[in-house]
Structure formats: C-alpha cells, structure tokens
Amino acid sequence: MNAIATDPAIAGRPAAARAPSRFLGLYRRGGWLALGAFALITIVVLPALHLAFPAGHPLHVSSFWIALVGKIMCYAMLAVALDLVWGYAGILSLGHGLFFALGGYALGMYLMRSIGRDGVYGSLLPDFMVFLDWKAYPWYWAGTDSFLYAAALVVLVPGILAFVFGFFAFRSRIKGVYFSIITQALTFAFMLLFFRNNTGFGGNNGFTDFKRILGFTITTPETKAALFAITAATLTVTLLACRYIVTSKLGRVLTGIRDSESRLAFCGYNTLWFKLFVWTFSAVLAGVAGALYVPQVGIINPGEMSPANSIEAVIWVAVGGRGTLVGAIIGAFLVNGAKSWFTGAFPEYWLFFLGAIFVLVTLVLPRGVVGLWSQLRGRRG
Amino acid sequence: MTAFLAAVRRAAAAIALAAFALPALAALDANAVRKLGADDTDDKLAGIATLAESADPAAFAVLTALADDSLAVLKDGRVVIVAGTEARDAATGAPVTAGAADREAITINNRVRRALADALAVLSLVSPDRAVRLASARSLQKEASPDLLPLILKAADRETDDEIRQLLVVAAAALQLQDPDAKARLAAVKRLAGSDSPDIKLVLSTMLEKKPDGSFNEPDADVRAEIATSLRAIESRLGRLEVVGNVFSGLSLGSVLLLAALGLAITFGLMGIINMAHGEFLMIGAYATYVVQNLFRALAPRALDWYLAAAIPVAFLVAALVGVVLERSVIRWLYGRPLETLLATWGISLLLIQTVRTLFGAQNVEVANPSWMSGGIALAGGLVLPYNRIAIILFAALVLAAVWLVLNRTRLGLFVRTVTQNRAMADCVGVPTGRVDMLTFALGCGIAGLGGVALSQIGNVGPDLGQSYIVDSFMVVVLGGVGQLAGTVIAAIGLGEVNKFLEPFAGAVLAKIAVLVFIIVFIQKRPQGLFALKGRSAEA
C-alpha cells in the first residue's frame, strides 16, 4: 500500500489557510485551466462542431467520434469512481462493472418502456417479454415508465446494493485481496442471474433497440450531442466532487485507512463508516456512468457484468496512475483509445497488448502515466 | 408405431438379406406361410399369429416382406419373397424360377397391418441384435395390444439383457393392469411394487387419477389401495436412488472443483500469490492432453487408448515450466504486493489465452475419451455412473494424496511449510527461499495442469476453458481457509454436493448463484474460512 507516495496537494496542507476558498483550492491555477479547457471542449465545442457543420466539412466532428468519446467519458467516470475507492481508500473492487451495469439497466428499463408499441411485435411489453409469453410487467418494473423514478433507481439500486454488501463485508473486516475476490464473485453471480431469461431483463440480449428518450428520438444528431454534453458535464462535476472529498478531512482519513487501517482504528476512528461512505458513493457514481452509457451506446447486456470487464476498468486506473483521479480519466482515454484503434487495425493483437499493459504497468509503472510525468518533471526541476 | 415400424424395417433389411444368403437357414411352418397368401383376412391373421409364435428370425423376414408389400403368391399357392427380379420361397428360402407374370402380390388391409405390427414387435424381441430388441421393447412399453401379453412374458423370461427385460416387465405389467379382472390387476400391482422404474410409477399414478366424468381410472377400491401402497414403495426406492445419484454427481463435481482448486490452494493458500492466470494453467494442461492425443493418433494409433498415461506427466511438466517462467519473470518482483500481483497475473492470463488462440485457433479442439472411459456402471432405475466421472474422482483422490505426500513427506514440502510460516527465519537458517518460491509455484501450476487433463475428459477444450473455473477455484480456496489442504478438500466436495442437491429445486444457474451468495455470507461469519490457521501466523 505504501508504494503510492502521498499526493503533494494533500500532504501537510492546511487547505483552508492557503486557498481563498475551499472550492477554488481544489486545484492550482494550471489544474483549473486544464480542467476548464477540457470542460469547454467536451461540453461545448465538440457537440457544437458536430451539429453546426455538415458531414464532409473539415470542421465536422463525425458521429463516430462523438459516439466513441462519449462512451469513453462514461468509462472515465467509472474509472474515477474506482480510483476513489482504490487509490484513496485502498479498496480494490473487481466488481465495479456490476454497479455500472445496474445503473445502465435501471435507465434501460425506462428506455425500453418508452419504445411503446414501436417494437417488433407492436406490444406495449418489450419484445423479449412478448417472446417469453409474459402478459404483464413483473413487479420490479413498476413505475419505470417515469423517467424520474428510473433516474432515482440509477442512484438507488447500485447505492443500496453497495451499502448492504459493503456493510457486511467491512464489518467483518474483509479487506485486501479477499474483498477483491468477493466483489468479483458478486458481479459473476449477478451476471449469471441476468443471463437467465426468466430474470426479466432480456437475458442474453439485454436491452437494445431504444427509440426515444424523454420524447426525443434517440438517434438524431441533436440528441446524441446533448447526451454527449451531459456526459461531459457529469464527468467534470464527478471529478470535482471526488477531488473535494479526497482533499477534505474525510479524504485524509481515507488515505489513512489505505496506509494503515489498524493504526487509524487504534486512534479511535470507526473505519467502517468512512469506508462504507466512500464505497457507496463510488458505486453510485459508477451507476450514473452506466446510465449515461446506455442511451449513447444503445445496448446493455449482462456481458457488462463479466469479471473481465470490471478488472479491465481497474487497469485504466492503474495506467493513468492510481490515487490521482485525473489519472483515471487519462488512463480510461489511453486504454480505450488503444482498444478502439487495435480492434480496428489488428484485432488479434488487442489481447496481447492489453495483457502486456497489465504486466508492464504493475512491474515498471506502478504510479501510472501521471506518476511518470510528475517524476520526469521533478527530475528536470 | 409407424416410426417404430420404419426403424424395425431398416434393421430387418439386414436380417432379410441374411435369410437370402443362407437358404438353408430354417424351414418355416409351410402351412402358416401358405396361409399368408390366402384371400381370407382371418386366414392371414392365423398365419401371422403362428409365425409370430415361432420366434424364428426367418419368420421376421417373411413378415417384414409382407409389411413391405414384397410378398407374392404363386399360382400353385406357394408364397415367395420378391426382391427386384429374384424371388425365393418364403418357407424354405429356395430360389423360385417362376416369372413375374406367374405371381400375384399379396395385399393387406388395416386389420392385417395392425396384427403385423404387433407380430413384428414380438419377433424383433428375439432378434440377435440387441438394438432391435431394445427398440422393440421400448415401443411395446409405450403401446401394445393385450393379445401380446403371453408373448411378452415369454420374451422377458428369455431375455438376458437387464435393461430390455426391465422394459418388457413394465410393458407386461402395464398390459396386466388393463385386465378386466380386478384380481389379476391386484396381482399385477403387487408385482410392480418391487419395481424401480419411473415409467411404472407413472402408469400407477395415472390409474389413481380421476376421469373427466369423476370416476377413477381404476374402478376397484381395493386395487386403488394396493396401488397407493406400491406407489409409496416405488417412490421411496426412487427417492433413495435419486439421493445416490445426487451424491455421486456432487462428488464428481466436487472432484472437478478440487482438481481445479488444488493448485490454487498451493499458490494462493500457501504462498499468498493471487494467481488470476490459474485457470489458464488448467487450459494449458487440457491443450497438452490434446497435443499428446494427436501425437498418439499420428504415431501410435494402436496405443491411443493409453494416451492419457503419457498426457498426465506431459501436462504437469508443461504447466510447471510455464509456471517457472512466470514466477521468475513477473511474480517474484511483486511478492508482498497482492493487488499488483492480481493485476499482473490477469494480464498474463490474457496473454496466455491469446497465445493459445493464435496457436490452436479460437475454436474448441476435440479431445476424445479413451474407449475404456465411455459407458458406465448402470444401477437400477436408469441411474448410470459414467466411467469418466468415476475416473476423475479416483484421479482427484490420487492427486490429492500425491500433493499431501509432497508437502508432508519431502524436503521440498518441509521448506514450503517453513517459508510459509516464517520467511525471514527460514532465510536466516539457510533455506533458499527464492528457489523454494519458484518450485512451489511450479508445483501449484503443474497440479493445475493435471486438473486440465481431467477437465479435457468431461468438457470442451477451448482457449476460454480456464476463465469459467477461476471464480469457482478462488471460492473453494477462500471457503476452505487459506493454507489448509483439508479445508480445500472439504470445501470443494461440499460445494459440489450443495450445488447438485440444489439443482433439482432451483435449476443450475440459481443453484450456482445461491452457492456464491452462501459463500459471501459465510465469509462474513468466518473470514478465515472453514479451517483457520491458529496462532501467530494467522494474522500475517
């Protein structure tokens, strides 16, 4: 655990004394500028370029790029959520894909219902229910035709599951690799459950063929651009919120838990509630990321819950540099960018590349790209 | 019945040809054969009945020809079997030279056809071919005319094959249950109480049901009471058999889990290395088996049945070698950093999967069971214990014994235990800890390779083979308690049994989910697993 050097921004800093306000003190000037530039480009510029210029114009941002970057931003949010628990509290989750997928399924239920009678069978029920010869929605689908309720589910379902699971796991002091393995088993169990047709979530195929969201047709460039901008804004807010948490006293306690939980407990902290808070919050973030992912990608299926997906999310954080938050976003963009390029150019080498990243990052780049950069800068200075 | 007839005809074609080839085979009752050519339907029926009772394969050929419309009658009343332009006397098999103009095809009506079907079914009961007898017995059990009862009983007496005899007894009993005499029915019900066939249970319980008009299928109250008694006896016997079957399949699944998890119990349990590539070592073992099998097929096809004997050491060595390379190149840099080890070995597993995919293709490869492994021990009530499952249970026990011996009776085992308990102190007294780490890891991987040999015998061998076992393996080790072989064994067998006993109620997927949830809950209560290490080493 001690391999990670303490973030210089946190180390020995009476935050309130130096910064003019708690919020502005989250980043230094360079950081705010970079973040502002990122937010401006992703929230305003890219969607605007996508809409303002016709296809073929040199300034046009194609829908391929909007879809790809939008998807990666959702992944980046998942990575930030993961970094919050792994990088700061030392809790390595191999099951965050589950929360991501649950958030996606929660919104997916609303999207399925807003298809209305436009499905293949022309029934109010989703096609897969017609196929199973079901006559009515099962009870847990109740109310999902309301967007607000579905949005609440996006937060509540991953949140409550994480809270209950975390409560029991942390209370019996399961930590380290045990916790990781159990989260992996959890997502595996849910994957098996969702693969069943009778679970009522579309089995193998999951949810797809969405038609509209909040009354807007889901495939138009305007809707896509709006979803893109919303995702970018949510990602920015997520980053700031997590930064707020890790630079607060709470964040110091979390880092303490990561570095020496028993010592912290001897000092009189009940670590259970700190861990539980950050764990649940992280799961909710992952759920929101999943909910933003589904309308953009247009499909959610149990494959998202496979253990391999969750562990791949961990490597995004590791590549970017754990315990930095920004690193998680960078890592998500790097790895997924590489994935998209590889699967296009050399599909058979993608797994070699991914496997090599796993090995090399852990062996020679334990602090990730961000760590490498600050190391280089430090050496030069 | 028609589908069955078609099947019988196909089987009978061979017999009919044999009858042609051996004209001296048998002389049938000439009078009976002659009756087949008679104009009167009743005469034909009488002829069929006589021939059916003769239990002679030649009669079978004649009746099959009748059913196929290839029986003809000559002007002099002799009956011949026509095959193309040739004709042979049906009774003696001697060639007949009469031209096509001299003979008249024998036509049959539906009444004859029904009698013919029954007669053929009975006759095929005496066929020397077991498959024909089995098909016939199956068909008789589904549907038979009451007239056949004495013939079926006779065939059952003669039958040497247990499975077929069982079917015949059921068929006969089902016929006896339709007897108008209540006493006969009562006797049949009593006789059936000793049965252990699910089909008889079905027949009996149908008799207890009510017809749409409210009356019972079985009118007699005494018989009904007897049926209830017999049903209880059958049900309890079937229930016991089901328990035996479940215990066996649970034991079999447990052995598979044990073989998959035993290597992990060493690398993870003793050394504390989270080897996410463990499943891929199973896969390597399975592919090594595949390669050895192909070598045998190409170089020593006669010894193919014994390729497993060579595959076992090869799989062990290959997997152990890959393990050594992995330990020296990656894992030893990560000792004491379990989370990093986890990520790095996951990367290794991706590399191994893709390497195998590149070498052998993404499709599953075919690994055949040796011939001595196919089939199984048939127990009563349709319960079969397959030989390959039994072999795996024995194999798991052998591997377990070998591992125990290595850990407790060899110098390496002593070192392994020393390093596990106190690495620094072991180092101080001169134990080459680095070398011991390497060898232990190689041992764990080699055992996974052995597990792969076993898995190749019961499931698909493909690049993703290991992925489906990795979660299970970790569950077994975590549940059993780290560092304890006994815990691993009990956890593996226990999980196997629980899984198989849940499956009938919940279905395979829900049973698996229930087991995973159970483990998650169990870990809450006993975070150290079933068998926790006691003392100072426990908190390391």
Q: Give A206-229 pLDDT, tens digit per residue.
A: 998 898 898 898 889 899 999 999
- Quick: pLDDT tens for A335-360: 999 999 998 888 888 989 999 999 99
Is A174 in Cβ contact with B509 (below 8 Å)? no
Residue A226 phi/psi, 5° resolution?
Answer: -65, -45
Residue B403 has pLDDT above 60, yes or no: yes
- Quick: pLDDT tens for B113-149: 888 887 887 777 777 777 777 777 777 776 667 777 7
The pLDDT, as a whole number, for residue A16 is 46
Chain A touched by B405 (CB under 8 Å): no
Chain B from 435 to 474: CB within 8 A of any A CB: 467, 470-471, 474
Percentage above 70 pLDDT, chain B: 90
**To probe the interface with B, which of A358, A360, A363, A367 has the most B CB atoms within 10 Å?**
A358
B221-264 vs B485-506: helix axis angle to the nearest 10? Answer: 140
* Domains in chain B: ranges and CATH: 1-124 (no CATH), 241-539 (1.10.3470)
> Rounded to an integer, what distance in angstroms lies between the CA atom of residue A374 and that of residue A367?
10
Is B344 in Cβ contact with A358 (below 8 Å)? yes
The pLDDT, as a whole number, for residue A327 is 93
- Quick: pLDDT tens for B266-286: 888 778 788 889 999 999 999
The pLDDT, as a whole number, for residue B218 is 76
Q: What is the mean pLDDT of chain B?
A: 81
The pLDDT, as a whole number, for residue B30 is 76
The pLDDT, as a whole number, for residue B397 is 94
Is A318 in Cβ contact with B334 (below 8 Å)? no
CA B143 to chain centre: 27
Residue B378 phi/psi, 5° resolution?
Answer: -90, 120
**To probe the interface with B, which of A182, A305, A310, A350 has the most B CB atoms within 10 Å?**
A182
Residue B539 has pLDDT above 60, yes or no: no
* Nearest neighbour of B342 by CB, restricted to A177, A192, A361: A177
What does the radius of gyration of chain A's CA atoms come to, in whole angstroms? 21
Q: How far is B354 from chain A (nearest CA, A)?
A: 6
- Quick: pLDDT tens for B415-429: 988 888 888 888 999
Residue A123 has pLDDT above 50, yes or no: yes
Is residue B111 within 8 A of residue B41, CB to CB? The reply is: yes
* Nearest neighbour of A363 by CB, restricted to B333, B351, B355: B333
A167: nearest CA in chain B?
B524
Q: How far is B288 from chain A (nearest CA, A)?
A: 21
Residue B99 has pLDDT above 90, yes or no: no
Model confidence at A276, pLDDT cuts 50, 70, 90, reads very high
CA B308 to chain centre: 20
Q: How far is A211 from chain B (nearest CA, A)?
A: 32
Model confidence at A380, pLDDT cuts 50, 70, 90, reads low
The pLDDT, as a whole number, for residue B470 is 84
* Nearest neighbour of A188 by CB, restricted to B348, B516, B521: B516
Is residue B120 within 8 A of residue B64, CB to CB? The reply is: yes
Across the range A12-33, mean pLDDT stands at 71
> Rounded to an integer, what distance in angstroms lies between the CA atom of residue B538 and that of residue B540?
6
Model confidence at B531, pLDDT cuts 50, 70, 90, reads low
Q: What is the mean pLDDT of chain A?
A: 88
- Quick: pLDDT tens for B140-151: 776 667 777 777
- Quick: pLDDT tens for B233-265: 888 888 888 888 888 888 988 998 898 888 888
A319: nearest CA in chain B?
B343
Across the range B302-316, mean pLDDT stands at 91
Is A355 in Cβ contact with B339 (below 8 Å)? no
Residue B21 has pLDDT above 50, yes or no: no
Is A192 in Cβ contact with B343 (below 8 Å)? no
Model confidence at B382, pLDDT cuts 50, 70, 90, reads low
- According to DSSP, the residues that pair with A300 across neighbouring strands are A207
Chain A residues touching residue B513 (CB < 8 angstroms): 189, 192-193
The pLDDT, as a whole number, for residue B53 is 75
Model confidence at A18, pLDDT cuts 50, 70, 90, reads low
* Nearest neighbour of B350 by CB, restricted to A3, A185, A358: A358
Across the range B353-381, mean pLDDT stands at 85
The pLDDT, as a whole number, for residue B24 is 41
The pLDDT, as a whole number, for residue A4 is 45
Chain A touched by B342 (CB under 8 Å): yes
Across the range B507-534, mean pLDDT stands at 74
Taking residue B388's Cβ as centre, other Cβ atoms within 10 Å add up to 17
- Three-state SS string over B411-446 comes to HHHHHHHHHHHCHHHHHHCCCCHHHHHHHHHHHHHH
The pLDDT, as a whole number, for residue B532 is 58
The pLDDT, as a whole number, for residue B10 is 54
Task: Encode A25-49: b = buried (16+ Cβ within 10 Å), e = exposed.
Answer: bbbeeeeeeebeebbeebbeebbeb
Q: Which element (helix H / strand E) includes A30?
A: helix A29-39
The pLDDT, as a whole number, for residue B350 is 92
Residue A190 has pLDDT above 80, yes or no: yes
Q: Which residue has the higher pLDDT, A334 or B227?
A: A334
> Rounded to an integer, what distance in angstroms lies between the CA atom of residue B162 and that of residue A53?
82
Between chain A and chain B, the number of residue pairs with CB atoms below 8 A apart is 116
Model confidence at B22, pLDDT cuts 50, 70, 90, reads very low
Is residue B451 within 8 A of residue B259, CB to CB? The reply is: yes
Q: Please give the ipTM for the structure prediction.
A: 0.85
Chain A touched by B319 (CB under 8 Å): no
> Rounded to an integer, what distance in angstroms lies between the CA atom of residue B8 and that of residue B5?
5
Model confidence at B473, pLDDT cuts 50, 70, 90, reads confident
- Full-model pTM: 0.76
* Nearest neighbour of B516 by CB, restricted to A165, A189, A315: A189
Across the range A16-27, mean pLDDT stands at 70
- Quick: pLDDT tens for A355-374: 999 999 998 888 888 888 88
Highest mean pLDDT among A40-44, B217-221, B416-420: A40-44
How many alpha carbons fall within 13 Å on the CB side of residue A192?
18
Q: Which residue has the higher pLDDT, A235 or B509?
A: A235
Question: Parallel, antiparallel, or unpaired for β A212-213 and B376-378?
Answer: unpaired
Kindly state the tokens that stand for B384.
């079969």
Residue B12 has pLDDT above 70, yes or no: no
Residue A314 has pLDDT above 90, yes or no: yes
A356: nearest CA in chain B?
B347
Q: How far is B251 from chain A (nearest CA, A)?
A: 23
The pLDDT, as a whole number, for residue B402 is 93
| DSSP code per residue over A202-223 | -GGG-EE---EETTEETTSHHH
Residue A245 phi/psi, 5° resolution?
Answer: -65, -45
Torsion of CA B451, B454, B455, B456, to 10 degrees: 120
Model confidence at B98, pLDDT cuts 50, 70, 90, reads low
Q: How far is A1 from chain B (nearest CA, A)?
A: 8
Longest Cα–Cα distance of chain B, Å, equals 110
